[in-house]
Structure 1
Amino acid sequence: MVDRLRAPELRGRRWLNTGGEELSLVGLRGRIVVLDFWTFCCVNCLHVLDELRPLEQEFADSLVIIGVHSPKFEHEGRPEAVEAAVERYAVHHPVLDDPDLVTWDAYTARAWPTLVVIDPEGYIVGQMSGEGHGPGIASLVRELIGEHSARGTLRQGDSPYVPPSSDSTQFRFPGKAVPLGDGGFVVSDTAHHQIVLLESDLRTERARFGGPEVFEEPQGVCVLPSDAAERLGYDLLVADTVNHRIASIRLSDGRIRTEAGTGEQLRERSGGGAAHKQPLSSPWDIVWWLDRAVIEMAGTHQLWALHLATEPENNTVAVLAGTSAEGLRDGAADEAWLAQPSGLAVSASGDRVWIVDSETSALRSIVVDDNGFRLETHIGEGLFDFGFVDGVRSQARMQHPLGVAEAADGTVLVADTYNGAIRRFDPVTQVLSTALTGLSEPSDVLPLDDGLIVVESSAHRVDRMRLPATAAAEGGAGRVRRSATQIAPGAVELVVHFEPPAGQKLDDRYGDPTMLMVSSTPDSLIRSGGGRATGLARALDLDSSVGDGVLHISVRAAACDASGPDGEVPEHAACHLYQQDWGIPVRLEAGADAVLDLHLRGV
């Protein structure tokens, strides 16, 4: 007999999307509840929002989905920022604003996203981390509906969701802006799901392309060089982020065509080959470099290269940089780590591409030399370090930047999004300074001879601005407020729990269908047990002299539909990939637990 665990009550600062009503698990008794612990900086959390939408429709009278917004960055704890994110990402269920991580801690969440399933009697029946759990949750909900209908403990009814009001503006959460060669500009009007051509006044519209039936939350836009445009027969490339594709637009007639991606999200975190057969994962920005399109694949923490042919079926893609591990590690491009790269800019000399790595609050670049492509970090320390500080690299801090551009004088401008600022980095002196403050989530910046164009995403506008005579950073250094996990030094057992959904099983016909990759920051934290290997458990030896650090853990498990007469996996069964990355801050303490339990999926 397994003891059932009563779900802790939901406590936070306030409720959104409920019309002012406060919800409680007691009041929801009789309904199936799914808690989605998310934070709006996290691309994996945004993927899960999309995975949950079909469940909201299918089980509308039995299931209540509640978002628990537990912030990573300081900015994400601000009330107005949470409200904007709920609208920006079309969250159509109640959201508990949990800025102090009270409910996060009550449920011992360790990763964004974490999902918890609560049955109609108020007991936890499932907990899982990462993406890809939509079908499994749907299967569990069906089981719970059948069980509790039979027992008379299921209470059906309308959702407690109450939609908020929204203003009408020319742009809605615009993402990126790029110049046309004739003085006009192209803007991704992200929440309107359109690409807009503007005159030089930034108000008069020449044309709009797309709409919800064509694009979904487009971000980066690339204007092709004239010779490439003539050869290829179109003018723009668009990172169609939520549709997981790269599209092209021909301005002469408005034709929109897919150049890369299948419309499905990439789960394998690797790939290459024919672009039309290769799934992508949240492409966020795109530039033209070395006769190819370079794509920030935010969903897999990588850069990809897209080689374009005159016939789209001959387009090819390949990973350019990043192993898919989330973090900050320089060096050879195929060994480096990135963390949700979200802005690109080609240097004037063409010898490098500037990158803003949003989850490490970093400014980085990729260069090519005789030894191939390599990544360098200019500002940034790691996944949990951020702030608003000017100075040299060891001092300077940013907070989740999303845009970057190189100015005529060779300095690099950064849209320091969560600090509401434009920062300036001097590659010669290696010093970061502040150029402009008081902005509303700037997501891109373009330098002009007499000032800047800034995309103020949460202010729903694209404006020219002049730089003040002086400006300064307005805060200090900070770290993510998430509590460090205390763990024993020396021998530690890492165990990732995974229970396939009903009707699925781990398929070991061709070997172990799991993969566990473990590393740390600093590297010296792990004396042995790091690296990549099959299996869901690992013996680690942690160096007591290090004290504090971060464990980086990536896991994958493949489960297939077991539909044979004896529950075996048939030859051509449908298979499903479950995966998650954890960056877990740890503190080594004598006497602490020597087992680290993580849940990829547990019931």
Structure 2
Amino acid sequence: MRAPELTGDAWWNTGGAPLTLAGLRGKIVLLDFWTSGCVNCLHVLDELRPLEDEFHDVLVTVGVHSPKFAHEGGRDSVAAAVARYDVRHPVVSDPEMALWQQYAVKAWPTLVLVDPEGYVVHVAAGEGHGEALRRVIAELVATHESAGTLRRSALDRTGADPADGDKTAETAETDETAETDEDAPLHFPSKAVVTAEGRVLVADTARHSVAEFASDAETLLRRFGDGTRGAADGAFDVASFAEPSGLTLLPTHVAERVGYHLLVADTANHLLRGIDLRTGAVRTVAGTGRQWRDGEHSGPALDVDLTSPWDARWWDAAGGVIVAMAGNHTLSVFDPVAGTISRFAGTTVEGLRDGQAGEAFFAQTSGLAVAGERLWLVDAETSALRYLEPDGDSGGFQVRTAVGHDLFTFGHRDGPADRALFQHPVDVTVLPDGAVAVADTYNGAVRRFDPAEGTVTTLRQGLAEPTGLVVTDGGVLVVESAAHRLRALHDGGVAEADRAEAAGGDVVDGDELAVSRPATVLAPGQVRLTVTFVPPPGEKLDDRYGPSTRLEVSASPPELLVDGGGVGTDLERTLTLAEGVEGGVVQVVAQAASCASDAEHPVCRVTRQDWGVPVSLESEGDRGLPLVMAGTPAE
């Protein structure tokens, strides 16, 4: 089909002018539908960089930022995301999701290839499509170069095409990326911890390092990591990280045995790193550097693939460090002494489901905190505060939700837990009085949950994307990420903090919000689910060891799905949706194994995608639910 023209309310990295497909005719255009809070979208940014280098003179990547959360649609938020993740290709803001709907997108992230003549030729949902895209793009280059329809020209850093002059200019506004003080000690920091001596250690995410401050939280003492993106071990000034996020200090007796004190969730490297705070030496202690796609998730720590570890916390009840694997919506437990890691909770299905740890659903767990036998956590994508605790009956652990509803409901509302709402929280800490403080990131607030009363209040508003909280002797420090600083929760100091805690905070009665993503209207009764997967050129499905595909279906609420749930090997299935249910979310996990067909020793890979499809049920709704994992719309 002819690709719909690009529209949007603001552009970045375009040299001062919006882009149009008409103006880019002769180029291969890759549209990346993303949103800044989606960890899978961040994976794709890394996957695209090699393609952008390899095809620099024929490929133009355009990031279409279609927000899930209300905060993500703001220009300041998009500008911050472009700067935080060093996005160098053009980005257009799609706050009303107009392009999303025109391209019939169903999931974040989705990639759409437009050929030099302006036609959609390939769609891929999810991540892990780098090699497949390389093959498709190479074939397009050969075809259109032969036909004389390919235009080669050097693309500068902004994405502007010197051969095109001002032909791409239209009326949409253009914005620069968020400005930061290059001399400031922090650049989009994430989380912090405090040592027994009172020093503050901060994951300086966009500077790919860990910063150590004196107890005043202002005087920079030293930095672990050379500030460049990498995965090198070694001394503090030669080691390197990639977007580190979570930090945890090991108990003294454990640190003495393993030879390091600080464990770093090195998020974009898919590694855990250990830092000896005496010598400054950095070493890798878990992960291979490859992102987990499928297969083993337990074993010797250096042999197991990890996926975007976002936070880590030592928990005596689990006998090790709990690691929030945001990339596949699970929790792992790392034993530093034994040097092993294993799945602790979650199934890899994104959602909100309580119960036994191994059967629960999580949604991009981003922050952890320990209170004795209870592990608190925040699930960013369900805007939920949850916890785990030992289950005496089973000998395992139970997952329960304190605040939160589902993948698509959020807001800023205080009060009883069953009415309270967060918006994409990414950290949590336990206050001295036993209450729980939540870094409610996209509301720009710090919230307080009282477990005894079951109520939520607001301690502070007006913060710039708070991503970390840490309790010190002087009160609570907030990592204010988009303001590139540490900030006291209460500027008036300990006395004001004590008064605020005694008062329990303010009560905000905000609105319930929902994503602007439109629901798919389906008919109750039987609906045919079809997932399209077509191997890229030069590949074929890999059925050497059994079926090459897998499909798992569930629903929230569970009563939405009468029949058709569970796991099977076909990518088509008939679902039965309940009469009398207004709607919900159909959760689909599909994967396919494929191998190169043109090599004696083929390279094989697993493509996997999760969809959480919001649906509403109406008698005149569709009786088909088509999803594209990889292929063309016609297929």
TM-score scaled by structure 2? 0.91
Q: Which amino acid aligns with 1:416?
A: D
Give yes or no for the alignment of 1:260 onto 2:289.
no
Deviation at 1:491, TM superposition (A): 0.8
- 2:112, 2:630 → 1: CA distance? 10
Please give the residue correspondences for 1:4-153 in structure 2 after superposition, counting only pairs within 5 Å.
5-153=1-149
Query: Does 2:225 match 1:203?
Result: no
Matched, 1:509 2:544: yes
In structure 1, runs of 5+ residues without a counterpart are 565-569
Deviation at 1:167, TM superposition (A): 3.2
Letter in 1 for 2:443: N
2:532 maps to a residue whose letter is H
2:251 alignment partner in structure 1? 225
Q: Is 1:315 the counterpart of 2:339 in the alignment?
A: yes
- For the 8 Å contact 1:250–1:256, the answer to whether it is kept is yes
> What residue number does 1:341 align with?
365
Query: Deviation string for 1:60-109 (max 9, x for gaps)?
Result: 00000000000000000111000000000111100010000011110010
Alpha-carbon separation, structure 2, partners of 1:336 and 1:343 = 17
* 2: CA distance, partners of 1:526 / 1:535: 18
CA–CA distance in 1 between the matches of 2:361 and 2:324?
13
Contact persistence 1:270–1:319 (CA under 8 A): no
SS of corresponding position for 1:476: strand
The AA in structure 2 aligned to 1:585 is: P
Matched, 1:535 2:549: no
Give, in angstroms, the shift of residue 465 of structure 1.
3.1
Check whether the contact 1:269–1:300 (CA below 8 A) recurs between aligned residues.
no
Aligned partners of 1:39 and 1:153: how far apart in 2?
Answer: 32
Runs of 4+ in 1 over 4 A off after TM superposition: 163-166, 467-470
- Counterpart among 252, 275, 294 of residue 301 in structure 2: 275
Q: Secondary structure at the match of 2:291?
A: coil
State the AA in 1 paired with 2:459.
A
Q: CA deviation at 1:270?
A: 5.1
SS at match of 1:186: strand
Name which of 177, 182, 185 aligns with 2:200.
185
**Residues 94 and 161, structure 1, Cα contact 8 Å, conserved in 2:** no
* Separation of aligned partners in 2, 1:219 and 1:139: 33
Question: Does the aligned pair in 2 maintain the 1:327–1:360 contact within 8 Å?
Answer: yes
Letter in 1 for 2:224: F
Q: Which range is displaced more, 318-327 or 165-174?
A: 165-174
Residues 1:402 and 1:553: Cα distance change in structure 2 (over 3 Å): same
In the alignment, does 2:321 pair up with 1:293?
Answer: yes
Say which of 340, 351, 367 aligns to 2:389.
Answer: 367
Separation (CA, whole Å) in 1 of partners of 2:95 and 2:606: 32
Query: Separation in 2 of the partners of 1:524 and 1:463?
Result: 45
Superposition deviation, residue 160 in structure 1: 6.0
Specify the alignment match of 2:417 in structure 1.
393
Larger displacement relative to structure 2 (25-34 or 528-537): 528-537
Match of 1:242 among 257, 265, 268: 268
Contact 2:538/2:596 (<8 A) preserved: yes
Which moved further from structure 2: 264-273 or 124-133?
A: 264-273
Amino acid at match of 1:478: L
Shift of 1:475: 2.9
* Paired residue total: 587
Q: Give the whole-Å Cα distance in 2 for the aligned partners of 1:477 and 1:451.
A: 31
Moved more, 466-475 or 281-290: 466-475
Are 1:459 and 2:490 counterparts?
no
Distance 2:508 2:444 in 1: 10
CA 270–323 in structure 1, closer or farther in 2 if over 3 Å, else same = farther
> Does the CA contact (< 8 Å) of 2:460 and 2:489 recur in 1?
no
Matches within 5 A, 1:547-586: 547-563=582-598, 572-586=601-615
SS of 2:52's equivalent in the other structure is helix
1:358 aligns with 2:380: yes
Whether the 8 Å contact between 1:363 and 1:378 is mirrored in structure 2 is yes
Cα contact 1:437–1:471 (8 A) shared by 2: no
- Residue 454 (structure 2) pairs with residue 426 (structure 1): no
Q: 1:327 to 1:269 in 2, by over 3 A?
A: farther
Give the 3-state SS of the residue equivalent to 1:305 in structure 2. strand
Distance 1:292 1:346 in 2: 12
Distance in 1 separating the partners of 2:131 and 2:507: 49
Distance in 1, matches of 2:301 and 2:17, equals 48
Instruction: Work out the percentage of aligned pairs sharing the same amino acid.
Output: 49
CA contact 2:180–2:187 (8 Å) conserved in 1: no
Give distance in 2, aligned partners of 1:490 and 1:340: 32
Which residue does the alignment assign to 2:628?
Answer: 599
Look up the SS of the partner of 1:364 in the other structure.
strand
Report deviation, 1:524.
0.8
SS across alignment from 1:242 = helix
* 1:412 paired to 2:436: yes
**In structure 1, what is the Cα distance between the partners aligned to 2:295 and 2:410?**
27
| Secondary structure of 1:263's aligned partner | coil
Give, in angstroms, the shift of residue 193 of structure 1.
0.5
From 166, 170, 191, the counterpart of 1:176: 191
| Whole-Å separation in 2 of the counterparts to 1:270 and 1:548 | 35
CA–CA separation in structure 2 for the residues paired with 1:300 and 1:282: 8
Which amino acid in 2 is paired with 1:288?
A: W
1:388 aligned partner, one-letter code: H
Cα deviation, residue 535, structure 1: 1.2
Q: What are the ranges of 5 or more consecutive residues in structure 2 without an aligned counterpart? A: 159-175, 231-239, 491-496
CA RMSD of aligned residues (A): 1.4
The one-letter code of the counterpart of 1:167 is D
Distance 1:185 1:490 in 2: 57
The CA deviation at 1:557 is 0.5
Distance, in Å, in 1 between the alignment partners of 2:438 and 2:621 is 42
User: Which deviations, in whole Å up to 9, do the C-alpha atoms of 1:338-367 show, x marking residues without a partner?
Assistant: 0000000111xx201110000000000111
Please report how far the alpha carbon of residue 488 of structure 1 lies from its aligned counterpart in structure 2 after TM superposition: 1.5
Distance 1:166 1:56 in 2: 26
Distance 2:560 2:284 in 1: 45
Tell me, in whole angstroms, the C-alpha distance in 1 between the residues paired with 2:509 and 2:119: 45
- What amino acid is the match of 1:302? T
Paired position in structure 2 for 1:567 = none
Give the alignment of 1:157-172 within 5 angstroms. Answer: 157-159=153-155, 161-162=157-158, 164=177, 166-168=180-182, 169-172=184-187
Aligned equivalent of 1:476, options 489, 498, 511? 511
C-alpha distance in 2 between matches for 1:322 and 1:507: 27
1:302, 1:174 → 2: CA distance? 24
What amino acid is the match of 2:583? Answer: D
For 2:519, give the aligned amino acid. Answer: A
